């Protein structure tokens, strides 16, 4: 089945001898029924002409960030929003370096930086450039920013050398993009529920018990789910974070409200509980603000256990139930106990005693514990929470399929 019909592909061509392959790439994309728009970097014009690109794509070629005509017709923001995906083929060591440092000094890099879509990079360079430690470091950084890398291949190069660095052939690139859209189509049949953020348990109208959860990891997981085609509902405790408009966002404050929202949105295929729900609530909330001079004696009682309720439900239990465990010590032991006691399929645990990850940080490092003993526990090393989210959802997709 052709998964490229009417798909919008923004192709960015960088300067390198492999740029000639972009012509075949455009031809194959058009043959598959895709709509193609192109951006040429200044150096790319030394290898392919705007006229040849325009003839094949049947559309104008964009190349100047400061063109009044381009900005009036479709500025760099609109161009990045137009695309279903962005494909950079070839991408040079220079452009890889620019992107890894967040540079935006031409139309190509500005569009990429302004994009909210998945971006595929197809490297092509001399073997020594590819093997250079700075290139490897830059690519590692880009992977942590959720860029998807295709290739390169091993083979003979235009410079006469042999090794890794040769651009992947256009037909293989097409296959990668088709598989991407195929997965999106498959994922659309699955409904996913995710909880995120803290809860507030009120003492009186102005004071509450809570925790340090920012909700960042849960929001990134919801973004990843949505990007990969899942029908996504996010139930969030108090947070100022923003989410994609195609995610069904339900805002709550207390554990009780979160529990009721979860109940209202079952059944689902997958439930991911990343929220840091307060374990306790005030037994008797005061109706008026407590004054300093008032005697204060707080009586706590246990909150509803949302994860346990869902994972043990007879008729509404999702196919996959994933819980989170934020630990300060004995991470492995505590996670394994929670996995059994809550009857989860997975527990994703992180050590929140480390200041550089976890609460309120943009980075995380987690370990996934599986109920299925045939699957080995996995450690996802420190990277941005958005990249951690993508790795988690890739595993969810594998499990569902």
pLDDT band at 91 (very low <50, low <70, confident <90, very high): very high
Where is the domain boundary, 142, 169, 185?
185
Mean pLDDT of 27-51: 93
What's the confidence (pLDDT) of residue 103? Answer: 86
**Based on the domain organization, do 211 and 177 belong to the same domain?**
no
- pLDDT tens for 96-151 read 999 999 888 889 999 999 888 899 999 999 899 999 999 999 998 898 888 999 99
Give the contacts of 125 (CB within 8 A, at least 6 positions apart).
Answer: 16, 92, 93, 135, 152, 165
d(CA 82, CA 237): 32
CB 129 within 8 A of CB 51: no
- pLDDT tens for 281-339 read 988 888 888 887 777 788 889 999 999 999 999 889 999 999 999 888 899 999 999 99
**Based on the domain organization, do 141 and 282 belong to the same domain?**
no
Where is the domain boundary, 185, 213, 237?
185
What's the confidence (pLDDT) of residue 271? Answer: 97
**Based on the domain organization, do 218 and 179 belong to the same domain?**
no
- Mean pLDDT (the chain) is 90
pLDDT band at 232 (very low <50, low <70, confident <90, very high): very high
**Based on the domain organization, do 207 and 327 belong to the same domain?**
yes
Helix, strand, coil shares, percent, the chain, to 5: 35, 25, 40
Residue from 159, 296, 298, 337 carrying the catalytic annotation = 159
pLDDT band at 152 (very low <50, low <70, confident <90, very high): very high
**Based on the domain organization, do 118 and 256 belong to the same domain?**
no
Segments forming the whole domain that contains residue 384: 188-400
CATH number for the domain spanning 99: value is 3.40.50.1950
CB 227 within 8 A of CB 146: no
d(CA 180, CA 223): 16
Q: Does the residue 312 lie in any domain?
A: yes
pTM of the model: 0.77
**Based on the domain organization, do 136 and 269 belong to the same domain?**
no
Annotated active-site residue 159? The verdict is yes
Residue 79 pLDDT exceeds 90: no
**Based on the domain organization, do 152 and 169 belong to the same domain?**
yes
Residue 75 pLDDT exceeds 80: no
Q: Does the residue 244 lie in any domain?
A: yes
Give exposure, 253-285, as e/b (b: 16+ Cβ within 10 Å).
bbbebbbebbeeebebbbbbbbbbbbeebbeee
Q: Which has the higher per-residue pLDDT, 73 or 86?
A: 86
Q: Does the residue 229 lie in any domain?
A: yes
Q: Does the residue 318 lie in any domain?
A: yes
**Based on the domain organization, do 324 and 392 belong to the same domain?**
yes
Give exposure, 313-344, as e/b (b: 16+ Cβ within 10 Å).
beeebbebbbbbbbbeeebeebbbebbeebbb
**Based on the domain organization, do 203 and 139 belong to the same domain?**
no
Mean pLDDT of 184-212: 91
**Based on the domain organization, do 137 and 229 belong to the same domain?**
no
What's the confidence (pLDDT) of residue 200? Answer: 95
Q: Does the residue 1 lie in any domain?
A: no
Q: Does the residue 320 lie in any domain?
A: yes
Q: Does the residue 202 lie in any domain?
A: yes
Mean pLDDT of 176-204: 92
- pLDDT tens for 351-366 read 888 777 767 788 999 9
Q: Does the residue 3 lie in any domain?
A: no
Where is the domain boundary, 185, 205, 235?
185
Residue 198 pLDDT exceeds 80: yes
Residue 76 pLDDT exceeds 80: no
CATH number for the domain spanning 240: value is 3.40.50.10300
CB 203 within 8 A of CB 285: yes
- pLDDT tens for 278-294 read 988 988 888 888 887 77
- Domain count across the chain: 2
- Tokens for 95? 């452009």
- What sign does the CA torsion over 182, 369, 211, 294 have? positive
**Based on the domain organization, do 177 and 215 belong to the same domain?**
no
**Based on the domain organization, do 382 and 393 belong to the same domain?**
yes
């Amino acid at each position: 089945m052709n998964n490229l019909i009417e798909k919008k592909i923004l192709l960015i061509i960088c300067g390198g001898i492999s740029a000639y392959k972009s012509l075949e790439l455009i031809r194959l994309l058009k043959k598959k029924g895709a709509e193609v728009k192109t951006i040429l970097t200044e150096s790319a014009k030394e290898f392919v002409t705007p006229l040849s690109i325009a003839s094949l794509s049947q559309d104008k070629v964009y190349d100047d960030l400061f063109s009044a005509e381009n900005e009036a017709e479709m500025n760099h923001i609109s161009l990045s929003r137009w695309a279903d995906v962005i494909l950079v083929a070839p991408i040079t060591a220079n452009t890889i370096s620019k992107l890894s440092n967040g540079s935006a000094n031409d139309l190509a890099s500005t569009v990429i930086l302004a994009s909210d879509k998945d971006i595929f990079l197809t490297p092509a360079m001399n073997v020594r450039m590819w093997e250079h430690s700075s290139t490897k470091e830059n690519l590692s950084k880009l992977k942590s920013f959720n860029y998807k890398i295709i290739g390169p291949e091993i083979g003979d190069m235009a410079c006469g050398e042999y090794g890794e660095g040769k651009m992947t052939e256009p037909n293989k690139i097409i296959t990668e993009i088709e598989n991407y859209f195929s997965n999106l189509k498959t994922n659309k049949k699955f409904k996913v529920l995710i909880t995120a953020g803290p809860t507030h348990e009120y003492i009186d109208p102005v004071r509450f018990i809570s925790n340090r959860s920012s909700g960042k990891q849960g929001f990134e997981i919801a973004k990843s789910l949505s990007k990969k085609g899942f029908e996504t509902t996010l139930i969030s405790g108090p947070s100022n974070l923003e989410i994609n408009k195609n995610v069904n966002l339900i805002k709550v404050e207390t554990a009780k409200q979160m529990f009721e929202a979860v109940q209202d949105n079952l059944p689902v295929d997958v439930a991911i509980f990343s929220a840091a729900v307060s374990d306790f609530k005030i037994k008797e909330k005061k109706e008026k603000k407590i004054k300093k001079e008032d005697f204060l004696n707080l009586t706590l009682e246990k909150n509803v256990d949302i994860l346990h309720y869902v994972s043990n439900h007879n008729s509404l239990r999702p196919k996959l139930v994933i819980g989170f465990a934020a630990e300060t010590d004995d991470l492995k032991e505590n996670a394994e106990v929670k996995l059994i006691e809550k009857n989860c399929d997975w527990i994703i645990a992180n050590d929140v005693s480390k200041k550089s990850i976890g609460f309120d940080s943009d980075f995380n490092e987690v370990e996934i514990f599986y109920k299925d003993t045939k699957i080995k526990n996995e450690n996802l090393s420190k990277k941005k929470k958005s990249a951690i989210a993508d790795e988690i959802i890739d595993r969810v997709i594998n499990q569902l399929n």
